[in-house]
Amino acid sequence: MSGFVSLVGAGPGDPDLLTVKATRALAAADLVFYDALLSTDMLELAPHAQKFSVGKRCGKPAIRQETIHALLIRAAKRGKRVVRLKGGDPFVFGRGGEEALALAAAGVAFEVIPGISNSIAAPELAGIPVTHRGVSSAFVVVSAHEEATFRPVLQGLTPGSVTVVALMGLGTRARVASVLVEGGWPESTPAAVVLGAGSANAHTWRGTLSSLGDAAFPDSAAGLPGTLVAGNVVSLAAVIAPARRDSRPAVSAQGAS
């Protein structure tokens, strides 16, 4: 028997934002290895599969990445159809590249199913376009887990020239703001934290770089993944966020065109 692995991007958290190909892979799966914080509604799309959590949370015991590789390879070699379900996009700070290399080295057939990266989706769902004509023509995405990783990138930016998006940076948000201010960004630069984008408990904090480190969040947002955004585009959310709808209005048969 020949197994197969699908490295699937789950997007920001809303099952409705999964791609059609992702839902098909889940429906056909025998095994699903899923990340932390994914919606349980997504797992219901794999009714015949066994599900195993292999997610990593900051500061908590976690399964080693090499162990995840071994689990994927072993299941595939036993003839199973395997889905590795990852938040956002598999190749954007998701270690999907590492898993793809491990599968290739083991001779296991696999595919990569892209997902909407949280670096774009989280700001967008909060009414923040990461690019906007006349405001920002580019955006930079960094992993904010460790300052040694994001500092060299942020220090090289011309103040105000781009939108800065930082993933995995809730605990380091004060340092992200400080590095930008040290680099010449005004303390008044608009900033936002988008928590749990795409989920029922989604929450957005908006302020400035000077207040980012002291940003307070409601208890309902505790434990939700966060995305930091800095740049003038954040100010557009004051108009866009209140006006956006979560779904299209119903259209009657008579009104359809």
Whether pLDDT at 256 is above 90: no
Tell me, yes or no, whether 132 and 235 share the same domain.
yes
Specify if 255 maps to a domain: no
180, 202 contact by CB (below 8 A): no
Tell me, yes or no, whether 62 and 167 share the same domain.
no
Tell me, yes or no, whether 171 and 202 share the same domain.
yes
Range of 41's domain?
Answer: 4-113
178, 204 contact by CB (below 8 A): no
Whether pLDDT at 40 is above 90: no
CA distances from 81 to 103, 201, 215 (A): 14, 33, 44
Tell me, yes or no, whether 156 and 41 share the same domain.
no
Whether pLDDT at 102 is above 80: yes
- pLDDT at residue 86, as a whole number: 94
168 is catalytic: yes
- pLDDT at residue 255, as a whole number: 37
35 is catalytic: yes
Active-site option among 30, 80, 86, 168 = 168
Domain end, chosen from 91, 113, 135, is at 113
Whether pLDDT at 248 is above 90: no
Taking the C-alpha atoms of residue 18 and residue 237, their distance in angstroms, rounded to an integer, is 24
Q: What's the mean per-residue pLDDT of the chain?
A: 91
Which value, in Å, is the radius of gyration of the alpha carbons in the chain? 20
| Least trusted range by pLDDT, from 2-11, 31-40, 153-162 | 31-40
pLDDT per residue over 122-143, tens digit each?
A: 999 999 999 999 999 999 999 9
- pLDDT at residue 250, as a whole number: 47
Instruction: Provide the CATH number for the domain around residue 142.
Output: 3.30.950.10
The reported pTM is 0.88
Active-site option among 14, 35, 86, 89 = 35
Instruction: Provide the CATH number for the domain around residue 101.
Output: 3.40.1010.10
219 is catalytic: no
